[in-house]
Amino acid sequence: MSWSQILDSHMASRSRLSQEDAVVLYRDAPLHALRNAANQRRVEMNGNKQVTYLIDRNINYTNVCTINCQFCSFYRPPGHEETYTQTLDEISHRVSELESIDGTRILMQGGVNPDLGIVYYTDLLKSLREKHPTIDLDCFSPIEIEGIAEVANLSTLEVLTHLKDAGMHGLPGGGAEMLVESVRKDVSPKKGSPDNWLRVMQEAQSLGLITSATNVFGFGETIENRVEHMSRIRELQDSSLADYSNGFTSFIAWPVQLENNTYGKRNRGRNKFELGAGPTEYLRHVAVSRLFFDNIDHIQASWPTMGLAIAQMALLGGADDAGSTMMEENVVSASGTNKIQASELELQDAIVRAGFVPRRRNSRYEHLETPSPITKLSELASPPPSQF
């Protein structure tokens, strides 16, 4: 079928898109048609008024890592003079700073550090839980869980159980990149397989932890690869919702950053259209993901990599969440993206200029009271640009 037949049929019946049909839409449909359809689905699933955001802080507790992903500029190998591992007091101080601006969660992730035993993690979580009881602790990623399991000689399920008992609320979806074996072998040969990432996430979901699904794209992979990644996540979501009534809260995609890392250097000189993704391709990816994921409630716009202006466009083409303030982000910014941090006011401003009412949320996507929100263009500090 042609892209228009597929889109017409999907929008008329709301039937689940097959992988093959999603590839045709991704490849052939005009961007405006994709965005219109995705916006309709977003309105059906999340309403047309509000856009949510989260007040949080990234904490990158260690930069020691043995995995050596080619696109990563953040990590340092063990023994390198620039390695660091934060102490409990340092981390707790950072959480106190978050509390002072009314934040509700930390996103704490780091490298796979072979010198840290499971007691470092459980003591850290227990202490944070005790000292900062109102802060949600979304911590680590599947590859870190695999690393902890190896050092502790435990299964990943046992590690997750210990971490949950110590106070962890969620396992964010870092490290998925592309869940396609051939792409993964090329860019992160030492990272766990796609099956491992999915298995650890499923284990986290079985324990009731909050999870999200991520996707870094633009490694020169095919459109079929991109849709395969989405398909593997959709399959797991089906089974986790059926088995545990707990699945991914959201899908968050962004293009790989190619500055300051081995992958960018290795591919210097390659056609710029083959790597990374520009604004229109990113918006196409967001729109297809909204149409494809009939079982994931939220699609997040990625302002840290694309900028607030493109994130606003994503909110008008399938996304319903503006992400978070990301106080102190170090991983993506190490790869060349400029300052990654936004104040609550900046996020509210961007949301209002895109035509929505901003609403604070927590990491479960439950709406929170939003003190003194800007709700109208007339309340903005500077006049709205003419395009809105």
Separation of alpha carbons 283 and 41, rounded Å: 15
Piece of the chain touching ligand SF4 by CB under 6 A; list 64-72, 80-88, 91-99, 165-173: 64-72
70 forms part of the interface with ligand SF4 (CB under 6 A): no
User: For ligand SF4, which is the closer residue by CB, 67 or 316?
Assistant: 67
Q: How far, in Å, CA of 289 to CA of 260, rounded? A: 29
What is the smallest separation between the CB atom of 347 and ligand SF4, expressed in angstroms?
26
Task: Please list every residue from 19 through 58 that binds ligand SF4, using CB under 6 A.
Answer: none
When binding is defined by CB under 6 A, the residue of 112, 286, 322, 354 that contacts ligand SF4 is 112
DSSP lists the bridge partners of residue 49 as: none
Structure tokens at 54: 């989260």
Q: Does 65 participate in binding ligand SF4 (rule CB under 6 A)?
A: yes
- What is the β-pairing status of strands 170-171 and 210-217? parallel
Nearer CB in complex with ligand SF4: 83/231: 83
Sole binder of ligand SF4 in the list 75, 282, 292, 293 (CB under 6 A): 75
Both tokens of 245, joined, read 């009534």
For residue 334, give the 3-state DSSP assignment.
helix
Q: Indicate the DSSP class of residue 31.
A: H
Decide: is 111 part of the binding site for ligand SF4 (CB under 6 A). Answer: yes
Q: Which is nearer to ligand SF4, 75 or 254 (CB)?
A: 75
Q: Which stretch binds ligand SF4 (CB under 6 A): 71-79, 164-172, 234-242, 288-296?
A: 71-79
User: Is 216 an interacting residue with respect to ligand SF4 (CB under 6 A)?
Assistant: no
Query: What are the φ and ψ backbone dihedral angles of 125, each rounded to 5 degrees?
Result: -65, -45
DSSP 8-state secondary structure symbol assigned to residue 29 = S
Q: Which is nearer to ligand SF4, 143 or 327 (CB)?
A: 143
Give me the helices (H) in 178-278, please: 181-187, 194-206, 223-244, 262-266
Class of residue 2 by CB neighbours under 10 A (exposed 0-12, middle 13-18, buried 19+): exposed
| 3-class SS of residue 357 | strand
Q: Please state the closest distance from residue 309 (CB atom) to ligand SF4, in A.
A: 27
Task: Characterize 259-294 residue by residue with b for buried, 16 or more Cβ atoms within 10 angstroms of its Cβ, and e for exposed.
Answer: ebbebbeebeeeeeeebbbeeebbbbbbbbbbbbbb
CB atoms within 10 A of CB 66: 13
107 binds ligand SF4 (CB under 6 A): no
For residue 67, state whether it binds ligand SF4 (rule: CB under 6 A).
Answer: yes
Q: Which is nearer to ligand SF4, 122 or 257 (CB)?
A: 257
Tokens 């856009």 correspond to what residue? 51
Q: Which stretch binds ligand SF4 (CB under 6 A): 32-40, 60-68, 231-239, 317-325?
A: 60-68
> Residue from 17, 69, 209, 230 that binds ligand SF4 (CB under 6 A)?
69
**All residues at 6 or more sequence positions from 306 whose CB lies less than 8 Å from its CB, including other chains:** 254, 255, 279, 282, 314
Fill in the per-residue mask, 117 to 156: x = in contact with ligand SF4 (CB under 6 A), - = not in contact.
--------------------------x-------------
Question: Is there a contact between 10 and 40 (Cβ–Cβ < 8 Å)?
Answer: no
Q: Choose between 188 and 363: whose C-beta lies nearer to ligand SF4.
A: 188
Q: How far is the CB of 177 from ligand SF4 (least distance, A)?
A: 8
- Output the smallest distance, CB 141 to ligand SF4, in A: 7
Scanning 61-69, 92-100, 201-209, 312-320 for contacts with ligand SF4 by CB under 6 A, the matching segment is 61-69
Element (H, E) at 321: strand 321-324
CB distance 138 to 107 below 8 Å: yes
Residue among 26, 53, 74, 282 that touches ligand SF4 (CB under 6 A): 74
Size of the site for ligand SF4 (CB under 6 A): 10
262 near ligand SF4, judged by CB under 6 A? no
Closest CB 213 distance from ligand SF4, rounded Å:
17
Which residues are at the interface with ligand SF4 (CB under 6 A)? Answer: 65, 67-69, 72, 74-75, 111-112, 143
